[in-house]
């Protein structure tokens, strides 16, 4: 498999792009480069931000330049990452009543029963690919194809922290109350974001997530 292409992003960042396909082997390359860079960070290194198919490397533009950063990245022998050897998080989720306000509409849209929608979500093989949009918003891949839904035409307000929602092949657990055009099918008491903790984000890119069904009393 060929290596990434590099694109300057402003004066102090470089994007390592592994292609447009969201796939486990592509993401393994992203994580491999991220870990190789973090294992021995150069003096100019400030931050690396992994995404589905790319890694953004932020650097001090007074200490180096885009070409030198790209040359360093090409020289790294990024060890192959075993994405199976990562942490698996069990997330309790309630799908009943107000906790899953879109379960019925999702079932009608998909031509499934409500229990089939819930069963499909529980059966998903979820991987943490990236953080984005808002603090602690971990984008999970692995939603079963039977549960793929387009985003709603308009966002709906009033969804609380811990809302479990899906859109297309992605799943997300909210960390802030905000409107969304995704389908909210459950809620969890688990908090992905703890701003007071030394490590405020619960998940690491590459981690797996398994959803476990609980009743409303667990919220």
Walk me through the domains of the chain, giving residue ranges and CATH numbers: 5-75 (3.30.1360.40), 88-218 (2.40.100.10)
Asked whether residue 85 carries a pLDDT value surpassing 70, the answer given is no
Q: How far apart are CA 75 and CA 184, in angstroms?
A: 44
User: What pLDDT does 195 receive?
Assistant: 87
How is residue 165 written in tokens? 């929602």
Torsion of CA 17, 18, 21, 25, to 10 degrees: -150
Residue ranges with strand state E in the chain = 5-8, 13-17, 45-50, 54-59, 88-93, 126-131, 138-141, 156-159, 163-167, 170-173, 178-180, 183-187, 208-213
Give the model confidence (pLDDT) of 190-216 as tens digits. Answer: 999 998 888 899 998 889 999 999 999
How is residue 44 written in tokens? 């100019």
User: What pLDDT does 139 receive?
Assistant: 95
Average pLDDT score over the chain: 92
User: What pLDDT does 76 receive?
Assistant: 85
Q: What's the pTM?
A: 0.85
């Amino acid at each position: 498999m060929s290596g990434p292409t590099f694109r300057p992003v402003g004066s102090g960042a470089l994007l390592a792009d592994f292609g447009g396909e969201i796939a486990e082997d592509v993401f393994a390359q992203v994580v491999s480069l991220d870990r190789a860079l973090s294992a021995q960070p150069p003096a100019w290194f400030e931050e690396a931000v992994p995404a589905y198919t790319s890694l953004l490397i932020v650097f001090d533009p007074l200490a180096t330049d885009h070409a030198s950063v790209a040359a360093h990245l090409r020289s790294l022998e990024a060890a192959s990452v075993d994405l199976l050897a990562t942490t698996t998080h069990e997330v309790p989720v309630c799908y009943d009543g107000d906790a899953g306000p879109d379960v019925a509409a999702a079932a009608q849209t998909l031509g499934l029963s409500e229990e089939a929608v819930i069963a499909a979500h529980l059966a998903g093989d979820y991987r943490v690919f990236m953080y984005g949009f808002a603090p602690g918003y971990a984008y999970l891949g692995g939603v079963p194809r039977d549960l793929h839904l387009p985003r709603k035409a308009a966002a709906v307000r009033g969804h609380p922290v811990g809302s479990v929602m899906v859109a297309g092949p992605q799943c997300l657990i909210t960390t802030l109350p905000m409107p969304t055009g995704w389908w909210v099918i459950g809620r969890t008491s688990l908090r992905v974001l703890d701003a007071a903790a030394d490590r405020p984000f619960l998940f690491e890119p590459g981690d797996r997530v398994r959803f476990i069904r609980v009743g409303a009393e667990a919220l």
